Amino acid sequence: MSSVQKFFWVLKLSLRNLARQPRRTVAVLLTVGVGSASLFLFQGFNTGIMNQYRENSIHARYGHGQLHTRGYRDTIHEKPWEHWIEDPASLGQKLIGFERIKQVFPRIEFFALLTNGSINVSGRGTGVDGVEESKFFQTLNVEEGKMLEGEPDGILLGRGLANALNLEPGDTVTVLANTVNGSLNGADLVVTGIFHTGSKEFDDVAFRIPLAQAQALLDTSRVESVALGLDSHESWPAVAGRISREFPELSATEFAVLDKIYYQNSVDWLKSQFGVIRLIILLIVVLGIFNIVATAILERKAEIGNLRANGDSRAGVLFLLVSEGMMLGIVGAALGIASAWALNSTLMAKGILMPPAPGLTRQFHVRMELDWVTAWLTFTLGSACCLVSSLFAGLRVARLSIGEALRST
């Protein structure tokens, strides 16, 4: 018998052995499958919650990143408007021609006093291009009314600010601010909508008005920053590198740096926490697989003694046991991955409803984001655990003498 024929004969014999003991086979398959599915789903949950934080930060406030004049963010200026970006329209036309840049959002941020005639509340405003921003900032969560779009005298209020002023969509509010020359200026605006981002600190002071209205209010033609909407967050390094080469007077800052407290610190904390939990789950899964596979093999001492008595070598017996472990590992891990994917596509299609995270005021759904790379790694881990445990247990029983193995019950 050739080596190839012998290999296939051992595989056939392994399949026959597995079929003869359905209880033991099912127990191992379930252990490997449930363990692989648990690891796969947990990693999908990790990826989903990280991406949720990222998308909320990008599409609610910052875009994929922002441009300022070089050194503007690193220094406190007595007259910051003197360091704002000149001719934003020309800059925007040049930027929109970049391959990975899809949208450009010129902005001005300023402090102002808002009054409804009887209540005065300070707020932090942002002058924006409402038409363009309404297409991109889709996680702003407008509860009442609508996004700020083409209304020249519209204003979009954060939930806390609207509550403090007792305003609803359609009401009028007066915004008072100092111009860049130091004089007081004001504008009467109509509330178009009320939004919340989930961050109470932000929603209590934030409002948005049209960029032209903000420039008239502050008496300037400049903008403080230009936010960018890219085709993907992964394109940021290439875009930032090109901007630094072609516009040396500007500095590009990624959203993760701009939103370090809410996004970056939260993600870093979650990564550390999930790393510990992942390690605990991994140890439980690996030990569970080792235990069930080793127990299944050690229960077969008498059977292995009969094989040895009929002339099979230690190496032949070991190869047979490892072949069975390899089959169980491959089938069990594949079933686990397939089950996890099916579960995520049916019962968990809408995601898991999570309570408000630290610093947030609303619940949110987290979808488990499964991918083929993680699936392959999890499949490999489940199969390898079953294979290695079969090898160690097989070595132990293969070393037994024929008499000792036959005396086992």
Report the run of H or E that residue 101 belongs to, with start and end.
strand 101-115
In this structure, are 84 and 214 located in the same domain? yes
25-34, 42-51, 152-161, 316-325: which is most confident: 152-161
| Cβ contacts of 254 within 8 Å, gap of 6 or more | 64, 65, 236, 240
Residue 254 lies in a domain: no
| pLDDT surpassing 80 at residue 402 | no
Lowest-pLDDT range, 323-337, 339-353, 391-405?
391-405
112 beta partners: 123
Residue 66 lies in a domain: no
Q: How far is CA 134 from CA 137, 174, 235, 345, in A?
A: 6, 23, 22, 30
Lowest-pLDDT range, 33-42, 267-276, 313-322?
313-322
Residue 225 CB neighbours (<10 A): 26
As a whole-number percent, the residues of the chain with pLDDT over 70 amount to 90
Residue 256 lies in a domain: no
In this structure, are 36 and 142 located in the same domain? no
Domain boundary among 222, 248, 274: 248
In this structure, are 312 and 353 located in the same domain? yes
User: What CA–CA distance (Å, rounded) separates 354 from 28?
Assistant: 33
User: Hey, which bits of 133-215 come out as E strands?
Assistant: 142-145, 154-158, 172-178, 184-195, 206-210
Mean pLDDT of 96-113: 92
In this structure, are 380 and 352 located in the same domain? yes
Residue 253 lies in a domain: no
Domain boundary among 213, 248, 283: 248
8-22, 146-160, 266-280: which is most confident: 146-160
In this structure, are 104 and 242 located in the same domain? yes
User: What CA–CA distance (Å, rounded) separates 322 from 315?
Assistant: 10
Q: How far is CA 118 from CA 169, 194, 353, in A?
A: 18, 20, 40
* pLDDT score, position 287: 80
* pLDDT score, position 346: 87
Are 102 and 152 in contact, with CB atoms under 8 Å apart?
Answer: no
Task: Pick the closest to residue 366 from 117, 128, 101, 55 (CA basis).
Answer: 55
Are 149 and 133 in contact, with CB atoms under 8 Å apart?
Answer: no
In this structure, are 106 and 243 located in the same domain? yes
| pLDDT surpassing 90 at residue 220 | yes
Domain boundary among 219, 248, 277: 248
Mean pLDDT of 205-222: 94
User: What CA–CA distance (Å, rounded) separates 155 from 126?
Assistant: 10
In this structure, are 8 and 82 located in the same domain? no
Give 112's DSSP letter.
Answer: E
User: What CA–CA distance (Å, rounded) separates 156 from 168?
Assistant: 10
Task: Pick the closest to residue 88 from 214, 218, 212, 221 (CA basis).
Answer: 221
In this structure, are 80 and 12 located in the same domain? no
* pLDDT score, position 91: 92
Backbone angles phi, psi at 207, to 5 degrees: -150, 160
* pLDDT score, position 200: 82
* pLDDT score, position 9: 57
What is the CA angle 7-12-15, rounded to 5?
125
Amino acid at site 213: Q
Are 356 and 52 in contact, with CB atoms under 8 Å apart?
Answer: no
Per the model's pLDDT, the better-predicted residue between 214 and 31 turns out to be 214
| pLDDT surpassing 60 at residue 5 | no
Are 63 and 226 in contact, with CB atoms under 8 Å apart?
Answer: no
Residue 191 lies in a domain: yes
In this structure, are 103 and 7 located in the same domain? no
Residue 62 lies in a domain: no
* pLDDT score, position 2: 55
- The predicted-structure confidence for 136-174, as pLDDT tens digits, reads as follows 888 778 889 988 888 889 999 999 999 999 999 999 999
* pLDDT score, position 280: 83
Are 125 and 217 in contact, with CB atoms under 8 Å apart?
Answer: no
In this structure, are 205 and 349 located in the same domain? no
User: What CA–CA distance (Å, rounded) separates 236 from 230?
Assistant: 8
User: What CA–CA distance (Å, rounded) separates 183 from 108?
Assistant: 18
In this structure, are 114 and 22 located in the same domain? no
In this structure, are 113 and 206 located in the same domain? yes
What is the CA angle 313-314-318, rounded to 5?
120
SS3 265: helix
Are 219 and 180 in contact, with CB atoms under 8 Å apart?
Answer: yes
Residue 228: half-sphere exposure toward Cβ, Cα within 13 Å: 32
| Tally of domains in the chain | 2
Give residue 351's domain range. 3-57+264-406
Residue 257 lies in a domain: no
Res. 185 pLDDT band, cuts 50 70 90? very high
Residue 391 lies in a domain: yes
* pLDDT score, position 95: 92
H helices present in 204-264, as ranges: 211-218, 236-246, 255-258
| Cβ contacts of 99 within 8 Å, gap of 6 or more | none
User: What CA–CA distance (Å, rounded) separates 294 from 296?
Assistant: 5
